């Protein structure tokens, strides 16, 4: 027993000496403290304009020091402000869909309601050149077709009678003086005949009546008025026995072999249309027929009430099927073609003064980007600046991404200037409750964590 006890005591003593020696060595071992190497800035940035940088420290024109930019800050700055990161499960749950921006040619078709009207270039309004009374009205029904130079009516005018008398006197005077040996007298008689005859022509005396007057020297009580062009009588302004003046409209004659159609287009469609574009027209009163024409004119003003622009279309009407004031459905095939980078129109977030899209930078990473838009057609919109062909844009749930993007951007601006954290790669931190009565500046410990169950 004594031997075993001695061995146990010896082992315990040896163990205690070993532990004590190790503790003493650990306690008195000299510690070498290493200090981290100072960070070297990559460059210096102007505090007023981040786009202005300098490789060496300097001051701006206002005397402010340039701010150093380090490697970790540069890496964090590579992420655009407002960039959103979401995990694949959340992306699937909120229904994020994307589309690829492609380069294609846009065309447009404008549909509008048109109204058939007269061709103003083929419209004739007939007025007398002198005062008088209507003796005979030969064309007395509207809708009649008249040929060119057809006799319309007979008018009695004292001025026309007096002009005929002057012409006959001039003819008789010329006959008496044509053998005169004095050349000036003969020339004066000829000039008088010529001027009298010209006055009758200016009063629209028909050529056949003027020929008869020259041949027979018989004064006509009434003179005929002929139509200057062929067409359909659209309006008759006089009746037999009526007193007329040069202000009285006798007839309105329209040639309906061609008609005009007026249509109104919206302002956003105006950049597409141009003179010469092909047009198709359909009318309810002529089912099954498609009339083809062209865009003849774009009026240089907008209608103040409807905010639309009027255009004039021209159509041939050889069968006289198109009648003025008929309504029609017109389709304008815009000849203008635009080749540009296009995206679906629903991908654009239109927020006041700017247009924005979300571009897929990586799986689950979406960057907001301002774009400049061009023409739109058939659900596609042209992007003039801000996007390249081949990039992916978000076409659904972009409004959820936009709200999250604005929240992250505001939070990034509110954090400390020297904080290099990239909030786009992690969720926003929630505020920690503070003890209002703690004056040390230390947070109050969680009371629930102080209980421990043994």
- 331 confidence band (pLDDT: 50, 70, 90): very high
pLDDT on residue 443? 39
The helix (run of H) or strand (run of E) holding residue 384 is strand 380-385
The 8 Å CB, 24+ separation contacts for 282-289 are 282/328, 282/329, 283/322, 283/326, 283/327, 283/328, 283/329, 284/327, 285/326, 286/321, 286/322, 289/321
pLDDT on residue 436? 39
The span from the CA of 70 to the CA of 44, in Å, is 9
Which has the minimum average pLDDT: 159-163, 285-289, 372-376?
372-376
How confident is the model over 15-44, as a mean pLDDT? 62
pLDDT on residue 252? 93
pLDDT on residue 402? 79
| Cα R_g (the chain), whole angstroms | 49
Distances (CA, A) of 216 to 167, 220, 295: 12, 11, 55
- 74 confidence band (pLDDT: 50, 70, 90): low
Which has the minimum average pLDDT: 9-18, 95-104, 112-121, 342-351?
9-18
In DSSP notation, 176-228 reads HHTT-S-HHHHHHHHHHHHHHHHHHHHTT--HHHHHHHHHH----SEEEEE-S
pLDDT on residue 434? 41
Give per-residue burial for 59-81: e unless 16+ CB within 10 Å, then b: eeeeeeebbebeeebeebeebee
pLDDT on residue 17? 66
How many alpha carbons lie under 13 Å from residue 217 in its C-beta half-sphere?
A: 7
- Give the percent of the chain with pLDDT over 70: 79
| Top-confidence residue, 255 or 339 | 255
In DSSP notation, 99-127 reads EE-EEEEE--EEEEEEEEEE-GGGEEEE-
Structure tokens at 425: 């790669």
pLDDT on residue 72? 58
Give the three-state DSSP class for 89.
Answer: helix
141-188 tens-digit pLDDT = 998 999 998 999 999 999 999 999 999 998 888 888 877 778 888 888
- Paired with 325 in beta bridges are none
How confident is the model over 330-355, as a mean pLDDT? 86
How confident is the model over 279-290, as a mean pLDDT? 94
The answer to whether 213 and 206 are in contact (CB under 8 A) is: no
Backbone angles phi, psi at 107, to 5 degrees: -135, 165
In DSSP notation, 216-238 reads H----SEEEEE-SS-EEEEEE--
How confident is the model over 346-375, as a mean pLDDT? 87
| Top-confidence residue, 67 or 394 | 394
Look at residue 312 and tell me whether its pLDDT is greater than 90.
Answer: yes
77-93 tens-digit pLDDT = 455 677 888 888 888 88
Average pLDDT, the chain: 81
| Top-confidence residue, 273 or 92 | 273
The answer to whether 371 and 348 are in contact (CB under 8 A) is: yes
107-152 tens-digit pLDDT = 889 999 999 999 999 999 999 999 999 999 999 999 899 999 899 9
Helices (H), 315-450: 398-414
Q: How many CB atoms lie within 10 A of CB 272?
A: 23
397-447 tens-digit pLDDT = 878 887 877 776 666 555 544 444 444 444 434 333 343 334 343 334 343
The span from the CA of 424 to the CA of 417, in Å, is 16
H helix and E strand count, the chain: 7, 26
């Amino acid at each position: 027993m004594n031997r075993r006890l001695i061995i146990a005591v010896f082992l315990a003593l040896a163990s205690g000496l070993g532990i004590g020696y190790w503790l003493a060595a650990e306690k008195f071992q000299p510690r070498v403290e290493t200090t981290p190497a100072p960070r070297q800035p990559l460059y210096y940035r102007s505090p007023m304009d981040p786009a202005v940088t300098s490789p060496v420290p300097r001051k701006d024109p206002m005397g402010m020091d340039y701010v150093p930019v380090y490697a970790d800050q540069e890496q964090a700055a590579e992420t655009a402000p407002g960039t959103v990161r979401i995990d694949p499960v959340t992306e699937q749950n909120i229904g994020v869909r994307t589309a690829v921006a492609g380069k294609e040619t846009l065309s447009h078709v404008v549909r509008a309601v048109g109204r058939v009207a007269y061709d103003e270039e083929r419209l004739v309004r007939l007025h007398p050149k002198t005062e008088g009374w209507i003796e005979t009205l030969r064309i007395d029904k509207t809708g009649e077709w008249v040929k060119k130079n057809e006799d319309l009516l007979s008018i009695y005018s004292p001025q026309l009678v007096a002009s005929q008398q002057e012409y006959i006197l001039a003819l008789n005077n010329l006959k008496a003086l044509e053998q005169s040996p004095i050349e000036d007298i003969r020339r004066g008689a000829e000039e008088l005949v010529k001027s009298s005859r010209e006055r009758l022509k200016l009063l629209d005396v028909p050529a056949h009546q003027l020929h008869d007057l020259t041949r027979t020297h018989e004064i006509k009580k009434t003179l005929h008025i002929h139509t200057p062009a062929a067409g359909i009588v659209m309006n008759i302004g006089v009746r037999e026995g009526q007193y007329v003046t040069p202000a009285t409209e006798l007839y309105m004659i329209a040639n309906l072999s061609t008609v005009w159609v007026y249509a109104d287009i919206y302002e956003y469609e105006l950049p597409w249309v141009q003179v010469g574009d092909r047009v198709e027209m359909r009318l309810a009163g002529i089912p099954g027929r498609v009339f083809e024409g062209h865009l003849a004119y774009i009026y240089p003003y907008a209608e103040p009430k409807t905010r639309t622009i009027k255009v004039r279309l021209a159509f041939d009407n050889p069968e006289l099927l198109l009648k003025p004031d008929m309504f029609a459905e017109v389709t304008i095939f815009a000849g203008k073609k635009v080749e540009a980078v296009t995206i679906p129109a629903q991908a654009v977030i239109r927020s006041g003064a700017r247009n924005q899209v979300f571009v897929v930078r990586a799986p689950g990473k979406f960057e907001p980007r301002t774009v400049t838009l061009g023409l739109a057609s058939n659900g596609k919109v042209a992007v003039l600046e801000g996007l390249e062909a081949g990039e992916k844009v978000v076409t659904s749930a972009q409004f959820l991404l936009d709200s999250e993007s604005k929240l992250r951007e505001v939070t990034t601006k509110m954090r400390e200037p020297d904080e290099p954290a990239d909030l786009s790669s992690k969720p926003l931190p929630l505020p920690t409750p503070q003890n209002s009565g703690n004056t040390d500046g230390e947070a109050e410990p969680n009371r629930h964590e102080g209980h421990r169950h043994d």
